[in-house]
């Protein structure tokens, strides 16, 4: 009888030990999960409101890296701003939002509704305005500029200091000078920059007519170019004599650099051994 009680006691102790071990393991796993949830990961958040239709390259300048608890991070949160390159914001993004991959879509595969007014929302502290200039085919890059492009604005016939009496006879006395660089083209004539939904419709109409691929707005350019600029630059541009305005077309990846006046006493580029061509003394690289 005594041995039976001993066996029961031993069994009870063993069961209690096993139960304690299981409970300890469970509590440990709960703690591990809690620690994992409390861990922080890197995310990218919006530091100022971003209008719908904003290209990813531009939006990348107004988002910043932050830390969030892993349990609150969306599964599709972007890990690098390069993930939204060449995509556009499908809807307005608000300050402090975590940027996810589905917030930016292909311009030709989803609807993005911005409207002209939406494209004039503030950039940082600047109120954006739309101003229209008129250029002919020669001064407007042969009509090749399209809505959404970027242009450098020059004014010709500017003298550095006071124009000399013989300015008309001096080659560089009256120069073309850069007024602003990389201004965004909001519209050409009455054709605004296409948002994604408008591009889809244009592509669909073109496909019905037998065209293929992405469709740009290629109707004839009559020379009316509307720029999206802050109020003060608009004042500068409006001050320029219209007949003196000259535009150059630049790429989306163009990086503005300060440009000075042309020195009247300097050799011409083709006379300078370090320059010679528009691409440097070695000419245009073969791979371009």
Tokens representing 237? 């541009």
Ranges 11-15, 24-28, 213-217, 258-262: which has the least confidence: 213-217
Q: Looking at per-residue confidence, does 265 or 121 come out higher?
A: 265
Residues 6+ apart with CB under 8 A from 69: 37, 38, 39, 40
CA 16 to CA 132: how far, in whole Å?
85
Whole-number percent of the chain with pLDDT over 90: 30
Of residues 15 and 10, more confidence is placed in: 15
Give, in degrees to the nearest 5, the angle at Cα 21 between 18 and 25.
140
Using an 8 Å Cβ cutoff, are 244 and 155 in contact? yes
Q: What is the mean pLDDT of residues 228-250?
A: 93
Q: What is the pLDDT of residue 127?
A: 84
pLDDT tens readout for residues 106-117: 765 544 444 565
- Of the listed ranges 73-82, 89-98, 161-170, 197-206, the one predicted with least confidence: 197-206
The DSSP code for 164 is: P
The CA distance from 62 to 97, in Å, is 12
pLDDT tens-digit map of 134-193: 999 999 999 999 888 999 999 988 776 667 666 666 677 678 889 999 999 988 888 766
Q: What is the pLDDT of residue 213?
A: 46
Residue-wise pLDDT for 194-225, tens only, equals 555 455 455 555 555 555 444 444 455 568 99
pLDDT of residue 148: 87
Structure tokens at 1: 């009888």
pLDDT score of 52: 79
Q: Residues 159, 140: contact at Cβ < 8 Å?
A: no
Helices (H), the chain: 2-38, 56-59, 115-118, 196-208, 231-239
Q: Which of 61-70, 228-237, 242-251, 277-286 has the lowest mean pLDDT?
A: 277-286
Burial 76-88 (b: 16+ CB within 10 A, else e): ebbeebebbeebb
pLDDT of residue 263: 81
Looking at every residue in the chain, the average pLDDT score rounds to 78
Q: What is d(CA 124, CA 49) in angstroms, rounded to the nearest whole number? A: 9
59: tokens are 């939006």
Residue 119 pLDDT: 64
Instruction: Go through the chain and tell me how many residues it has.
Output: 288
Instruction: Give the pLDDT of residue 145.
Output: 92
pLDDT digits (tens, 9 = 90+) for 266-288: 888 898 899 889 888 888 876 55
| Partners of 93 in the β-ladder | 50
Q: What is the pLDDT of residue 210?
A: 56
The pair of structure tokens assigned to 29 is 């796993």
Determine the 3-state secondary structure of 98 from DSSP: strand
For 136, how many CA atoms within 13 A lie in the half-sphere containing its CB? 3
Encoding tokens for residue 224?
Answer: 């009316």
Residue 216, pLDDT score: 47
- CA-CA distances (angstroms) from residue 53 to 93, 115, 193, 218, 264? 10, 9, 10, 21, 45
What is the per-residue pLDDT for 111? 47
pLDDT in tens, 21-54: 676 666 666 566 655 556 788 999 999 998 877 8
- Give dist(CA 48, CA 124) in Å, integer: 7
Q: Read off the pLDDT band of 121 (50, 70, 90).
A: low
């Amino acid at each position: 009888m005594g041995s039976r009680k001993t066996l029961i006691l031993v069994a009870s102790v063993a069961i209690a030990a096993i139960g304690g071990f299981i409970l300890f393991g469970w509590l440990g796993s709960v703690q591990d999960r809690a620690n994992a949830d409390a861990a922080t990961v890197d995310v990218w958040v919006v530091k100022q409101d971003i209008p719908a239709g904003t290209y990813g390259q531009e939006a990348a300048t107004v988002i910043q890296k932050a830390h969030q608890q892993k349990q609150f991070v969306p599964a599709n949160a972007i890990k690098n701003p390069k993930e939204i390159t060449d995509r556009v914001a499908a809807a307005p993004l608000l300050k402090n939002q975590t940027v996810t991959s589905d917030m930016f879509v292909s311009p030709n595969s989803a609807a993005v509704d911005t409207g002209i007014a939406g494209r004039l929302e503030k950039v940082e502290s600047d109120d954006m305005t739309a101003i229209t200039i008129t250029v002919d085919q020669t001064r407007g890059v042969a009509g090749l500029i399209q809505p959404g492009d970027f242009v450098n604005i020059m004014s010709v016939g500017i003298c550095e200091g006071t124009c000399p009496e013989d300015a008309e006879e001096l080659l560089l006395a009256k120069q073309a000078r850069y007024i602003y660089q990389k201004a965004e083209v909001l519209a050409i004539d009455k054709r605004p920059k296409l948002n994604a939904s408008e591009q889809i419709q244009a592509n669909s109409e073109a496909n019905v007519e037998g065209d293929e691929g992405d469709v740009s707005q290629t109707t004839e350019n009559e020379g009316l170019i509307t720029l999206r600029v802050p109020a003060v630059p608009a004042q500068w541009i409006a001050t320029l004599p219209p007949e003196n305005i000259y535009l150059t077309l630049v790429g989306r990846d163009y990086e503005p650099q300060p440009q000075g006046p042309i020195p009247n006493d300097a050799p011409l580029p083709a006379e300078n051994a370090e320059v010679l061509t528009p691409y440097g003394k070695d000419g245009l690289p073969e791979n371009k």
